[in-house]
Amino acid sequence: MTTTRFAPSPTGRLHVGNIRTALHNWMLARKNGGRFLLRIDDTDAERSREEYVDAIRADLAWLGLEPDGEQRQSARLNLYEAAFETLRAAGRVYPCYETAQELDLKRKIQLGRGLPPIYDRAALDMTDAARNAKEAEGIAPHWRFMLDHSEPIAWDDGVRGAQKFDAATLSDPVVRRADGSWLYMLPSAVDDIDMGVSHVLRGEDHVSNTAVQIQMFTALHAAGFAAAKGAAKTHPDFAHEALLVGREGKLSKRLGSLGCDAFRERRIEPEAVIALLARLGTSLPVEPIADRARLVESFDLATFGRAPAKFDDAELDRLNTAIVHQMAFAEVAHRLPEGMDEAGWHAIRPNLSQVAEAGEWWRLVTGPVEPPEFSQEDRAYLSEAVGALSWGDDPWRGLTDALKESTGRKGKPLFLPLRQALTGLDHGPDMGELLPLIGEVRARERLARAAGE
């Protein structure tokens, strides 16, 4: 079964780049009849906050990306310990005692010599006596995963195609800190094995992480850990999409203006966010498609491009307007002003860019409206309109036909004074739909008032 996962760290609010990753994983799972899982990567106890966990769940729910299951890394520490011991017994993790300052100095020296700033594996040359001396001084080791330099790391990436890394150009990654806490790499690989994740779709900034993790998957399989968990493949299929950028460059969690809270404050529909992010960065056109089944059906990693995808607020606003114009009354009835029925929604909807604007336009029906000052000629015309108004199936057509015949007016001189008298505006909803909502009594009163009667 296709199983994808979205694995945010609860150290801040989701931003639009995170949301796009979650959406694409959800779509990949739904396209293949699979499962979409949420994994809360909260091993960083110092920075993780429960309020952010709640916010992540709330944002996914608002977007309609409900997961089929949820796991929290903080509840899986025993699993990571078991995997660590498996790798330790296999000689694939080793203790290191350098301080952060010593490592920084090593990197600077390597850079100064024109060498890649990767770890030199000095800890592997330490004797047991030297290690014992360090620990006697109270220096606890941090632990690195030992990469296998014997052959290239290769995989067929779902977006980037054939990928190949020379493991010797990568640092052996630290997987565990001196205080016993975990870094990202190993727990993520262990979880993917244990949760049966078949596809990992994430940003291209993780490509080198994938190279390292493929070796972790391979080592865990070779040591029997993955087999014990029933893993069918050595590692998941990987795909790395181009990063999403904004007007100011790379997106980050600190750009809170590009999160769900901001979208809600701007009264953006979740369907508009989904329609934009579903195809942003692909060769498919971004269209105001509110039907998620259509978006899912068209989802294909082969359409994803390599160039950074630019998020544009103006494009989101345009999509939102188009989506609002498609929304049925039943979808929005609970959000509309009191008294607005389906006919009212149908009349006002084409003038909205947000559902929340319905109240302002509904005021044209309920009043009060303030007509402009009319010329003497227009006041006489509006006075004639009071008498010409008759209430039938199409009162606006009846009124304008009668006035056109009696006054000879046509076009703007015929229609505009009537609209201004009835609504106080020179633009707005179709008057053929609006006038029946205003009603005969209110219409006569407004025309008479504008005529100065």
The binding site comprises: 253
Identify which of 431, 438, 437 has the alpha carbon closest to the alpha carbon of residue 343: 437
Inter-residue contact 424 to 449 (CB < 8 Å): no
Q: Which helix (H) or strand (E) holds 423?
A: helix 412-423
Decide if 237 contacts 159 (C-beta within 8 A): no
Provide the annotated binding site for ATP.
253
What the block records as the tokens of 403 is: 């006035």
Q: How many CB atoms lie within 10 A of CB 122?
A: 12
Q: How far apart are CA 397 and CA 383, in angstroms?
A: 18
Which residue, among 363, 351, 335, has the nearest Cα to 437 in the 3D structure?
Answer: 363
Reduced to 3 states, what is the DSSP secondary structure of residue 69?
strand
Return the ∠ at Cα 203 (arms to 201 and 209), rounded to 5°: 90
Ramachandran quadrant class, 391 (left: phi over 0; alpha: psi -120 to 50; beta: rest)? beta
Strands (E), 222-343: 237-241, 244-246, 249-250, 309-310
Contact 349, 322 (CB under 8 A): no
Stated as kind and residue range, the H or E segment containing 212 is: helix 207-222
- Distance, in Å, from the CA atom of 155 to the CA atom of 337, rounded to the nearest integer, reads 56
Cis peptide before 187 (omega within 30 of 0): no
Q: What is the DSSP letter of 182?
A: B
Read off the DSSP letter of residue 230. Answer: T
Q: Which residue has the tokens 């299951």?
A: 69
DSSP state at residue 47: T
Q: Strand ranges (DSSP E) for 30-92? A: 35-40, 69-72
Closest of 216, 117, 116, 209 to residue 163, by C-alpha: 209
- The Cα–Cα gap between 225 and 189 comes to 12
